[in-house]
Amino acid sequence: MQARVLVVVAFLIIGCATETAIEAAPAPLLGSADGSDAADRACAVVLRSVGRAREVDGRPATLCRDGLCWIALEATIDVADVAITDGGTPEVLFRDPDGPLGWIAASEPTPVEGAAGGFARFVVRLAEGGIRDGLSSGALSRAQLELVAYLRAPSGSRIFDHNERPGDLDNLTVSGADAFAFDADVAVCPGESARPVDAVATFDAAWNVSLEGSVRAGGALAVDYAPERLSQCFGDTYMSNATWDTLAWLRVLPSGEVLPYQSVIACDDLRCSDPRGERVVFELPEGTEAVELWFSTSGRSCGVHYDSNFGRNYRFEVTRPVGWVGGFVSKISRAGGAPCEGYDASNIGGSVGYGTWARQRAISSHICFRVWSEGVTDLGHAEPAAVSARLVCTWDGETEPRRHGVTFDGQVGNDARYRSSLAGLDPFRPYRCPEMPTRREGSYEVAGATCVAEVNGADFGPTGPGSSFRLTYSDYPDNAWRAANCAP
């Protein structure tokens, strides 16, 4: 049966006793009135993370009742699908180890959207009774919370998470000194792999914007954002707690739907003294033709500031499947001329070789291919924004492919043509140490690769989708510069 994961977002409220009655729960693994307890080490229930909950404006969330307020945290729990099918209900036991109250149970999970493929997600809010909001910075840093996730069966028996902490009584303890933060080891109960992203949009601290991969309708777009781009609210705190956040916003076009915003900030302490970026992933609905991204930062006393490309927003077009990729040619010519044309441009069959003559004499040396996409490449002579093309080569001796950029060469009829410089890929180019593995073959040093053109996420070769060609470089082995400067 396919495993699913259930996520519980728990607003944990811990602190001093109040006049409000708080119902105590049986301690973990000490038995319960409705059945026996057990430890789970088979990934039925797994606590994944804990952290401070925040309000929409970035302030740390609290829960108040009868004039008293407590700190709110978020906890994440994964539950195997078979456990849910069997009627298991996820709950959390928590307590302040130094407080007067015993264990308190949080239950009543509410299902929410947003779980990874093959998983289910729920939210649960805990009752009050623990660390009071408004403590001094010293008292807050010393505060601790002990907690453990478990499943309650219909019979009342409880199965406690001991997948990362195998001891029967080894529960998790988070502290204010670390912002009550916890993230489980990714190797613990990995379950079904998270959905891979189709593209990554990067907004770096130098105000560069780049896109790796292809934005797809129905796909996943990851965003990496450097906090330094919106630093106006750094240091905005209240009672030694950070009161600001930076959010990523995404609008889907043509529908105009704005997806739920996500925080792009990660903190290692309550003050968020050294904020760092945290990748977020947006799931794009079917029918998406383009997306717009923008970012905002705000806090308790620093106002609202935007990074929105001067109000135009950052727009990324959705790439569509192409209709045809072909016209693979190579040109290695002493005469020069157009990189992809001329009497010395030849169709690529199964291989392309680049040796000592080409390295010493060729003026033009390129691999070229053409792309046709209806309504995209046949609309004009500018580089089509909706085509993402590159050369992908798996070099002999390596298992991971290397992706090499290509250059738009112009329009050929209704096709867009792209080229890649053979000299630029040459592992043996002068005064450079080879980055790829090489080997000795007879009287030459050789580096080879199996290559494809990757266009909008699909692979193409000279004979169609899924085909490839060989690329081979050779040079004399006795090179004085490489012998003196390159590792053996």
pLDDT digits (tens, 9 = 90+) for 429-461: 999 999 999 999 999 999 999 999 999 888 999
Per-residue pLDDT, 355: 95
Q: What is the share, in percent, of the chain residues with pLDDT greater than 70? A: 89
pLDDT value of position 10: 44
pLDDT of residue 12: 44
Peptide bond into 254 cis (omega under 30): yes
The pLDDT of residue 212 is above 80: yes
Q: Specify whether the CB–CB gap between 174 and 60 falls below 8 A.
A: no
Average pLDDT over residues 144-170: 88
Q: Where in the chain is CATH 2.60.40?
A: 199-317
Residue 206 to residues 167, 225, 227, Cα–Cα distance (Å)? 47, 11, 11
Q: What is the DSSP string of 375-404?
A: TTTTS-SSPPTT--EEEEEEETT-SS-EEE
* The predicted structure's pLDDT at residue 126: 66
Least-confidence region, from 13-27, 62-76, 178-192: 13-27
d(CA 387, CA 322): 8
pLDDT band at 33 (very low <50, low <70, confident <90, very high): very low
Highest mean pLDDT among 25-29, 96-100, 102-106, 285-289: 285-289
Strands 407-412 and 290-299: unpaired
Q: Distance (Å, rounded) from C-alpha 488 to C-alpha 485?
A: 9
Q: What is the pLDDT of residues 311-370, one digit of tens each?
A: 999 999 887 788 999 999 999 999 888 999 998 889 998 899 999 999 999 999 999 999
**Furthest CA-CA distance within the chain:** 92
User: 199-317, what's its fold?
Assistant: Immunoglobulin-like (2.60.40)
The overall pTM is greater than 0.75: no
**How open is the CA angle 229-235-239, to the nearest 5 degrees?**
150
If you average pLDDT over residues 297-307, what whole number do you get?
A: 94
pLDDT in tens, 224-248: 999 999 999 999 998 888 899 999 9
pLDDT at 393 over 80: yes
Distance (Å, whole) CA 187 – CA 183: 11
